[in-house]
Structure 1
Amino acid sequence: MIFKVLYQDLASEVPVRENTHSLYIEASNERDVRFKLKDRGINIEFIQTLAGEHLAYEQQSEDFSLETV
């Protein structure tokens, strides 16, 4: 499955909408996503599963790039 992860660059940073970044990652579940990203030192705000039409919409974005971890 493909997940969209919304995060802040620093784990100590307070979530502010204007500073939120996103990345796309393939994993088996949300727990696996957190495990794969634990060494990056980022503050994960939200993890969203992408499937069907939502995934197709996100793939049309120029920012869509699947991370390999």
Structure 2
Amino acid sequence: MIFKVLYQEESMEAPVRERTTSMYVEAQTEREVRTKLADRNINIELIQALTESHLEYEKQSEAFQVENL
């Protein structure tokens, strides 16, 4: 399953929409995503499991790339 992770670059940074970044992670559960990202210094705002139709939409973006963790 592919998850979309919305986050801030710095762990102590307050969430501001204009500075929110996203990445895509392949994992079985949300907990697994959090475990894989635990060593990064980021402030996770949201982890969203992508449905097939949402995933197809996201793949149309030039920025779509599944992180290799």
TM-align CA RMSD: 0.5
**Paired positions, count:** 69
Specify the alignment match of 2:25 in structure 1: 25
Detail structure 1 runs of 4+ shifted over 4 Å in the superposition.
none
What pairs with 1:27-66 in structure 2 (closer than 5 Å)?
27-66=27-66
Name the structure where helix makes up a greater proportion of residues. Answer: 1
TM-score (norm 1): 0.98
TM-score (norm 2): 0.98
**Paired residue type of 1:39:** D
Residue segments in structure 1 that go unaligned for 5+ positions in a row: none
Paired-residue identity, %: 61
Report how far residue 51 of structure 1 moved.
1.9
Report how far residue 52 of structure 1 moved.
1.3
**CA distances 1:32-60 after superposition (whole Å, capped 9, x unpaired):** 00000010110000000012111100011
Please give the alpha-carbon distance, in whole angstroms, between the structure 1 residues aligned to 2:63 and 2:51. Answer: 17
**Paired residue type of 1:23:** M
Residue segments in structure 2 that go unaligned for 5+ positions in a row: none
